[in-house]
Amino acid sequence: MSFPKNFLWGGAVAANQCEGAYLEDGKGLSCADVLHGGKDKMAEMADAQALRRNMEKLEGFFPSHEAIDFYHHYKEDIALMGEMGFKVFRTSIAWSRIFPNGDDAQPNEKGLAFYDSLFDECLKHGIEPLVTISHYESPLALTKKYNGWTSRELIPLFERYARTLFERYKGKVKYWLTFNEINATTLFGAPFLGAGAIVDDPEKDKCAVYQAAHNQLVASALAVKAGHEIIPGAKIGNMIAAMMIYPYSCKPEDVWLKTARERETYFYSDVQARGYYPSYMEQFFAKQGIELEREADDTRILREGTVDFISFSYYMSMTASSDPELTKTSGNLFGGVKNPYLESSEWGWQIDPLGLRTLLNNLYDRYQKPLFIVENGLGAKDVVEADGSINDDYRIEYLRKHVKAMKDAVEVDGVDLWGYTTWGCIDLISASTGEMSKRYGFIYVDKDDEGKGTLKRSRKKSFSWYKGVIESNGDQL
Ligand code: BGP
């Protein structure tokens, strides 16, 4: 047994990290457009005052405004993906390209036409689009007017946006994801990125943060229902930043902490896969005095809007320990305690291929639904040699080991895995730092952290390696 014949190999991007053209053809500002780049980006996202200032006045350099200008280069970029043999391309739709303010009376035709053309281009190259409806880019006007997802007003607005997409692209797009890394809303330390909300002290104001999460879960379920109604045979998944957490030691307290921390993420996938709140979450709300604004219909909506498959991002694992003295490590949504058995990337994310196999098994055991790895990869600095070549053996090494782990999960353990889209298949701006130098791609883009460069695309060594992987359906690693 090997990977199934129709296994979906490909790559992933998100609109705000690659498109640029931030105000072109009627697009409105999104939350991503008011975040500066640099190592302080995480702090800025958690700083309510700074966010309010940025919303009022855009001063300085904002990486998303041009990004890699995919908006004007997509034909060339999709052709390169076609050359690698991609079966699937994951991208997101910028909500503010379709509804510039989120609540406009009519959708923006030019925005809709752009994605028509993008999906046509994919299909021309035999590439199936996999579309994230909301990837860290809710319209800024909704933050100003409603404080983003803390308000239930966003539920019908999102449903209408999703319905508009399903109606328009029903002949072109079969695979959909509702919210990117939906667990970011409560785990990121600030609900701005995931939920377009500014909360002065998220630790104290848990109610606002969990309300945003609840509203998104209801909206996600409504979108799943609508998608099934409008597109027969549509496959609609959720998307979580999957956390592979080990107990730091066999001390029972550490083991318990692992369970508790995993539940911070499982909460979302439990609701989206099973259709109801897990009892540990209801207890948590009761004990913390968190009273959510829930409507009578919410229970039915959640039950009727369960997802067809579970998708997730996986970059690293971490450990949980009851000892506060141990060294911490960073990660894409939250850090943990450093694992002494693992190496780290240049950005301190701990590399753990076997953790991916364990995680695939855990998720499949828990939900018995098909899985899709929609983000995985190594953010690293690349060097362009004098002859123009880019020898990214470290990236090949990272990916090879992860594909091998995924292969074991499928071939040996019997996990039902639909596909694999590596993150940032073409270099793009980083979500956590806004840097260009944190590169993930098979395709290099000539641009630096200050926004300078020709935007010229070139193939890295990993380009032909991945082409070979896809051609051999994962046999040739
Ligand atoms: C995930 C996000 C992506 C992506 C990725 C890599 O959390 O869904 O948008 O950016 O992480 O993170 P970074 O860009 O910070 O390296």
| pLDDT single digits (tens) 120-163 | 999 999 999 999 999 999 999 999 999 999 999 999 999 999 99
The pLDDT confidence band at residue 332, using thresholds 50, 70 and 90, is: low
- Which residue has its alpha carbon closest to ligand 1 atom 11? 332
Residue 320 pLDDT more than 90?
Answer: yes
The pLDDT confidence band at residue 445, using thresholds 50, 70 and 90, is: very high
For residue 283, report the distance from its CA to the centre of ligand 1, in Å.
32
Residue 39 pLDDT more than 90?
Answer: no
Residue 312 pLDDT more than 70?
Answer: yes
Bridge partners (DSSP) listed for residue 409: none
- The predicted model gives 343-354 an average pLDDT of 95
Q: Which of 93-97, 208-212, 326-330, 366-370 has the lowest mean pLDDT?
A: 326-330
Which of ligand 1's atoms lies nearest the C-alpha of 333? 7
Phi, psi of 135 (to 5 degrees): -125, 85
Residue 331 pLDDT more than 80?
Answer: no
List strand residue ranges (DSSP E) for 321-467, in order. 328-329, 336-337, 343-344, 350-351, 371-375, 417-423, 443-445, 457-459
Residue 243 pLDDT more than 90?
Answer: no
| CATH code for the structural domain at 8-471 | 3.20.20.80
Sorted by where each begins, the domain ranges of the chain are 8-471
The pair of three-digit structure tokens given for residue 261, joined into one six-digit string: 């921390």
Question: What residues contact 305, with CB distance under 8 A and at least 6 apart?
Answer: 220, 221, 222, 223, 224, 225, 275
Candidate of 311, 430, 435 to mutate for ligand 1, largest count of ligand atoms within 8 Å of Cβ: 430
Q: How far apart are CA 149 and CA 136, in angstroms?
A: 12
Q: How far apart are CA 144 and CA 139, in angstroms?
A: 9
pLDDT score at 426 = 99
Does residue 180 have its Cβ closer than 6 Å to ligand 1?
A: yes
Which of ligand 1's atoms lies nearest the C-alpha of 430? 14
CA dihedral 240, 418, 131, 135 (to 10 degrees): 20
pLDDT score at 333 = 63
| Burial class of residue 58 in the structure, from the number of CB atoms within 10 Å of its CB (0-12 exposed, 13-18 middle, 19+ buried) | middle
Instruction: Encode pLDDT of 186-228 as tens digits.
Output: 988 789 999 999 999 998 999 999 999 999 999 999 999 999 9
pLDDT score at 438 = 98
For residue 432, report the distance from its CA to the centre of ligand 1, in Å.
6
Taken in order 18, 192, 30, 10, the sign of the CA dihedral is positive
pLDDT score at 197 = 97
Judge whether 254 and 320 are in contact, CB under 8 Å.
Answer: yes
Question: Average pLDDT, whole number, for the chain?
Answer: 96
Residue 67 pLDDT more than 70?
Answer: yes
Question: How large a percentage of the chain has pLDDT more than 90?
Answer: 94
- The predicted model gives 273-277 an average pLDDT of 98
Instruction: Encode pLDDT of 98-114 as tens digits.
Output: 999 999 999 999 999 99
For residue 239, report the distance from its CA to the centre of ligand 1, in Å.
13
- Which residue has its alpha carbon closest to ligand 1 atom 15? 432
Instruction: Encode pLDDT of 398-428 as tens digits.
Output: 999 999 999 999 999 999 999 999 999 999 9
DSSP 301: H
- Which residue has its alpha carbon closest to ligand 1 atom 7? 332
Candidate of 138, 178, 182, 432 to mutate for ligand 1, largest count of ligand atoms within 8 Å of Cβ: 432
Q: How far apart are CA 141 and CA 147, in angstroms?
A: 9
Instruction: Encode pLDDT of 366-399 as tens digits.
Output: 999 999 999 999 999 999 999 999 999 999 999 9
Taken in order 53, 453, 433, 371, the sign of the CA dihedral is positive
Does residue 339 have its Cβ closer than 6 Å to ligand 1?
A: no
For residue 321, report the distance from its CA to the centre of ligand 1, in Å.
25
Catalytic residues: 181, 375
Does residue 440 have its Cβ closer than 6 Å to ligand 1?
A: no
pLDDT score at 247 = 96
The pLDDT confidence band at residue 175, using thresholds 50, 70 and 90, is: very high
Residue 197: name the closest of 235, 248, 242, 144 by CA.
Answer: 144
pLDDT score at 25 = 98
Q: Which amino acid is at 44?
A: E
The vertex-383 CA angle with 377 and 385, nearest 5°, equals: 135
Residue 327 pLDDT more than 70?
Answer: yes
Residue 92 pLDDT more than 80?
Answer: yes
For residue 251, report the distance from its CA to the centre of ligand 1, in Å.
33
pLDDT score at 316 = 96
Entry pTM? 0.97
pLDDT score at 1 = 59
For residue 262, report the distance from its CA to the centre of ligand 1, in Å.
20
Residue 237: name the closest of 123, 363, 127, 118 by CA.
Answer: 363
